[in-house]
Structure 1
Amino acid sequence: MLWSGARADDRATATGQQDLRQRLAAWGIQFNLTYIGETFANPVGGVRNGAIYTGRLDVGTTIDLEKLVGWGGATFHANAFQIHGDGLSRSYVGNLMLVSGVEALPASRLYEFWVEQALLGGRLQVRVGQQPSDMEFIDSKYDDLFANSALGWPGITGIILPSGGPSPPLAVPGVRLKAQLTEKLVGYLAVFNGDAAPPGPGDPQLKNPHGILFRVQDPPWVIGQLRYNFELGTTALPGTIAAGAWYHFGSFDSQSLDAAGRSLADPLSSGEPARMRRNQGLFGVFEQLLMRSPLDPAKGAGLFIRTSVSPSDRNLISFYLDGGIQFSGFSAARPDDKFGVAATYARISRDVRRYDQDLQLFTGIATPVRDFEAVIEASYSFQVAPNVAVQPIVEYVMHPGGGAVDPSDPTQTRRIRDAIVFGVRTTAAF
């Protein structure tokens, strides 16, 4: 009887929560709460071996302002993170493309805070406020399964843009336009503040610890993209081709020369990199549903490929490529499970390699010449309850840090060792 009473109380609580959600939805108010907890370890390779736990609580709201206050076509959204735990890349592996996109310094921070206005019957949407870029630009719907940070926001932009660009855990103020140009063609254009943190040395996450600086005075970052939707074959398998470019109006450090044109590795150099005006990049995305699931035509096997290039003289990474395949709807017993395999490749720029070669010349030490970093990830998401997924993850990290010297090597001649990473991520959404 005690157990039956507990079950009745649980049902009453769930019913009350559902009624509250329905009343709020009638007013145009939605709340979301998602917790991601993950454990990763690198028993092989990296700077040293170890294990970590990382957690991120994401609390947010989306409000239909037309329902709530009569503001036609307007939507408000805000969310905040509470991040805790350590990061495997930061503390153990030493790689550029973080093992997990959740990895960040512990903090409680505001992330998004924006208003969007729909115009022209919804064909034009204007979003103003603090926002990220990774949800719409250089993005694929088939990369959402994977844990590695580069398989969300691409490894090149996440590494070379100030503060990593507008992506977790740092969003920035900006204005984004989204236009339905034709039935199949969508255009995106955004102007963001060019840095989430004040200039100067130090970790951007420490310089903007709570996400409330709302910086608007930095040189802007502009990004544009065209996305074309198509259908392939007699079964009309949906696919997308996207292409675009970005331009940053700030200044960037030369990767090999000082202001006098002398190699930064030269003992006679000032040690202060020459400042290069502006920065830019080109990118492309292809995604294609290869096969429909017999359980759900929206599911099946989906392929994605993304690539991007940027100048070598002012960037650590000059060429980036990733891709993968995701499977869903493959089991009648487990219709919401997903699994997939993906890989990333980030090439170290020519000028960085030139600096490493000059360092060998001037020091006489056979320090490694950095060349690339690559990651292979395999992941399976088990839907263990309607709102809970458990996800085993395996990553193989090649040339961590682009093949950088191992800081624990006294001879400074050995690269950081390739790492094998095992992890488990649990995601609960309410």
Structure 2
Amino acid sequence: MSWTGIQAGEFTTWGNDKGIDIFLDYSAEVISNVSGGERTGTGYNGLSSFGLDADLGQALGWEGTTLRVSGLDLHGSGIRSRVGDIMGVSNIEGYGSARLYDSWLEKSFEAKSLSLRAGLLLADDEFATLDTAGLFFNETFGWPEFISMNTFNGGPSFYAPALGGRLHWEPSAAIYVLLGLFDGDSLDSPDGDDTVNRHGLHWELGNGQGTIIMGEIGYRQNTGGEDVLPGVFKLGAWHHDSSFDDFGGGSAHDGTQGIYASAEQMVYREYGDQGLAVFARAGYAPEDRSEVEYSFQFGASYIGLIPGRDIDTFGLGLSHATISSDLPGRTSETVTEAAYEYIMSDEFTIQSSVQWVLDPGATDELDDALVFGLRTNLSF
């Protein structure tokens, strides 16, 4: 999912002896466009997530079976319309509602290092991820626009999961394979009407908007020990089988697709998890039917940069998206971001961000925007 705040905490110890963990998390941010864009101004975003994870092997004797049921509540008034950008300066901004969220049943086969998951799924939880970029506010460092802007309503991602299934296979400790099949429109509205599925209970698979198939293969290196520099390298592809207009006025296309690649590598280690890591990712989609032809992200993060703050993280990132040349008057948008995560405890963190958005909306009609953000994350 695009939201990359703290992980689910344990709200209560009730049910622990039965393999049940109940969690409740809350994130709140104040974010301000201080210059440029459509207009200046400040907004507030609030996100609460809640639910339970159940080991059904421990609870019911169904070995290797896990259940997740979760909900999401979004509220506040963000500033995306003030900035006028395409990437999204906040990864917790979305349609304000309470909804059924990431909810699924998973069966693991330990002997074959294989797991199958089905239910309401978030593709951005597992596909095309950049763990090293998890502290940034901008959506581009989570679910990339080379997928989100070239499918219906962003694809199966924060804040609207989609019906689907996923296979995860690890033939060795170094290699993994992901395959996923998802509903082609998680809002179930070709017009992008958030109210149609405002509570996450309007379930359809296909129904005119087709399906999305995703595949990814990854290679992990140097995963063992504290005296090595770990890294992960990924190749992926996706295909949406619905009909897509041709921007040049030709016949509609029976489907669209894209490819991507990413790399994350620790390049310097101080001690434990402390040190410097770098990341890069790029994706491409055909320009005759894709709003974003290609985009790329790269940057670095350092855990423990400031003496005495050994688990805080500082990061710098840049993302660039190029619009299809078949869309006149549109060019590209670039964002640079500096972010810091201050960890007070396992239950409370503070994040800060500064973003510079060049050519918001991928046009030359708006001045470059300067955006400041401050976010707190609570895990109960």
For the residues of structure 2 that align with 1:376 and 1:285, how far apart are their CA atoms? Answer: 18
For the residues of structure 2 that align with 1:60 and 1:22, how far apart are their CA atoms? Answer: 14
For the residues of structure 1 that align with 2:144 and 2:190, how far apart are their CA atoms? Answer: 24
1:51 is the counterpart of 2:42: yes
Pairwise CA distance, 1:336:
2.2
Q: 1:245 aligns with which of 226, 237, 242?
A: 237
Which residue of 1 is the match for residue 305 of structure 2?
A: 330
Which residue of 2 is the match for residue 344 of structure 1?
A: 319
Q: Contact 2:153/2:192 (CA < 8 Å) preserved in 1? A: no
Pairwise CA distance, 1:416:
1.5
Pairwise CA distance, 1:104:
0.5
Q: 2:58 aligns with which of 64, 67, 71?
A: 67
Pairwise CA distance, 1:122:
5.8
1:291-330 matched pairs, under 5 angstroms: 291-294=268-271, 297-330=272-305
Q: Contact 1:293/1:328 (CA < 8 Å) preserved in 2? A: no
Which residue of 1 is the match for residue 339 of structure 2?
A: 379
Q: 1:370 aligns with which of 327, 330, 340?
A: 330
Larger Rg: 1
Pairwise CA distance, 1:331:
4.4
Letter in 1 for 2:366: I
The alpha-carbon distance between structure 1 residues 191 and 145, as it changes in their structure 2 partners (threshold 3 A), is same
Q: 1:113 aligns with which of 99, 103, 120?
A: 103
1:147-296 matched pairs, under 5 angstroms: 147-203=137-193, 205-218=194-207, 219-231=210-222, 235-257=227-249, 261=250, 274-294=251-271
Q: Contact 2:130/2:141 (CA < 8 Å) preserved in 1? A: no
Pairwise CA distance, 1:120:
4.3
Which residue of 2 is the match for residue 397 of structure 1?
A: 357
Q: 2:69 aligns with which of 75, 78, 92?
A: 78
Classify the secondary structure of the residue corresponding to 1:60.
strand
Pairwise CA distance, 1:77:
0.6
For the residues of structure 1 that align with 2:316 and 2:19, how far apart are their CA atoms? Answer: 39
For the residues of structure 2 that align with 1:299 and 1:186, how far apart are their CA atoms? Answer: 26
Listed as ranges, the gaps of 5+ residues in structure 1 are: 1-17, 262-273, 357-368, 404-413
Q: Contact 1:64/1:75 (CA < 8 Å) preserved in 2? A: yes
The alpha-carbon distance between structure 1 residues 255 and 207, as it changes in their structure 2 partners (threshold 3 A), is farther
1:36 is the counterpart of 2:27: yes
Q: How many residues align?
A: 368
Q: Contact 1:189/1:222 (CA < 8 Å) preserved in 2? A: yes
Which residue of 2 is the match for residue 134 of structure 1?
A: 124
Letter in 2 for 1:382: Y
Letter in 2 for 1:288: Q
Classify the secondary structure of the residue corresponding to 2:247.
strand
The alpha-carbon distance between structure 1 residues 85 and 228, as it changes in their structure 2 partners (threshold 3 A), is same
Higher helix proportion (structure 1 or 2): 1
Q: TM-score, normalised by structure 2?
A: 0.93
Letter in 2 for 1:388: F
For the residues of structure 1 that align with 2:94 and 2:204, how far apart are their CA atoms? Answer: 20
For the residues of structure 2 that align with 1:332 and 1:32, how far apart are their CA atoms? Answer: 32
Q: Contact 1:96/1:400 (CA < 8 Å) preserved in 2? A: yes
Pairwise CA distance, 1:159:
1.4
Give identity over the alignment, percent.
Answer: 31
For the residues of structure 2 that align with 1:317 and 1:89, how far apart are their CA atoms? Answer: 18
Query: Cα RMSD over matched residues?
Result: 1.9
Q: Contact 1:173/1:193 (CA < 8 Å) preserved in 2? A: yes
1:419 is the counterpart of 2:369: yes
For the residues of structure 2 that align with 1:202 and 1:228, how far apart are their CA atoms? Answer: 36
Q: Contact 1:74/1:117 (CA < 8 Å) preserved in 2? A: yes
For the residues of structure 2 that align with 1:21 and 1:49, how far apart are their CA atoms? Answer: 42
Q: Contact 2:273/2:303 (CA < 8 Å) preserved in 1? A: no
Pairwise CA distance, 1:141:
1.3
The alpha-carbon distance between structure 1 residues 386 and 184, as it changes in their structure 2 partners (threshold 3 A), is closer
Which structure carries more relative contact order (alpha carbon 8 Å, separation 6+)?
A: 2
For the residues of structure 2 that align with 1:348 and 1:217, how far apart are their CA atoms? Answer: 27
1:32-68 CA deviation, whole Å, 9 max, x = no partner? 1111100111111011111101101111211000011
Q: Contact 1:86/1:105 (CA < 8 Å) preserved in 2? A: no
